[in-house]
Chains A and B, each alone.
Chain A
Amino acid sequence: LAKTTQPISMDSYEGQEVNITCSHNNIATNDYITWYQQFPSQGPRFIIQGYKTKVTNEVASLFIPADRKSSTLSLPRVSLSDTAVYYCLVGGARSSASKIIFGSGTRLSIRP
C-alpha cells in the first residue's frame, strides 16, 4: 500500500512560508503525488500534483526529490485563510481503491 506519513499538526504566522513534508517510502513507479486542502464543513480541495522534481502553481509549490520517497508542499506567505487540514495522497485514478489512502493529514494553524 502507498501509505503516507505527515506531521499531525503545524503552527505558523501570517506572512511566513510553510513547508509540509510527506513521506511515502513505497511509492510505485506510476504513482502521482497529490495534495489536498480541507476546510471545516467542506470536502477536500485539490491544491497541486506532481510526479517528480518541482511543480508550481498560483497557490503552492511541490518539491519532489529524485527518489520520490517524500514530497514537500510549500505555501508562500500564508494568511489566516490557509488554516486547514492538508492531505498528501499517493496514487492515481486508475489505482486500486486499496491504494487510495488519505491518512490523518496535517492540521495547519496560522496565527496573526
Chain B
Amino acid sequence: DAGVIQSPRHEVTEMGQEVTLRCKPISGHDYLFWYRQTMMRGLELLIYFNNNVPIDDSGMPEDRFSAKMPNASFSTLKIQPSEPRDSAVYFCASSQPLNGQPQHFGDGTRLSIL
C-alpha cells in the first residue's frame, strides 16, 4: 500500500521564481492537508481539502500561496513569487473521512529559496 507521495523531495530556486509542490494522497482518503515546518514555528497547517474542495485556508500565509486539488489523487501547493522566508519543509498528509482517523504524512519537500 503506497503512502502519501510528494515531489520533488528537494527544491532549490532563486527568489522570485514560481515553485510548485506536488502531492498524491493515499487512495480512498477524502481529506488532504498541507503543512509547513520550520525550526522557529514548528508544524503549521496551511490548508486542507475534503473531497477535493478547500475547507479552510486560514493558515495560508499570504496571497503568494495557493493550493489546488483538481482530482482525488493529486494536489499542488504553489508559491509565486517565492521569497527566502518561504524556505521550509512542506508536508502533505491525507486521512480517511471518519472522525478521529489519523493523518498519514508524506516525507516532505525541502524547499530552499536563495
Listed in ascending order, the chain A residues whose CB lies under 8 Å from chain B are 30, 32, 34, 36, 41-46, 49, 51, 87, 92-94, 96-98, 100-105
Contact = CB atoms under 8 A, between A and B. Distances in A.
Given A93-B100, A98-B56, A103-B42, A43 B107 contact: yes
A46 B95 CA distance: 11
Main SS class of interface, A: loop
Contacts, number: 65
A100 B97 contact: no
Contact of B59 (A93, A97, A105): A97
Given A43-B105, A43-B106, A32 B45 contact: no
A43 B56 contact: no
Interface residues of B, number: 29
A94 B106 CA distance: 20
Contacts of A43: 4, 91, 93, 105-108
Interface of B: 4, 31, 33, 42-43, 45, 47-48, 55-56, 58-59, 91, 93, 95-108, 110
A103 B44 CA distance: 9
A92 B101 contact: yes
B99 A97 contact: no
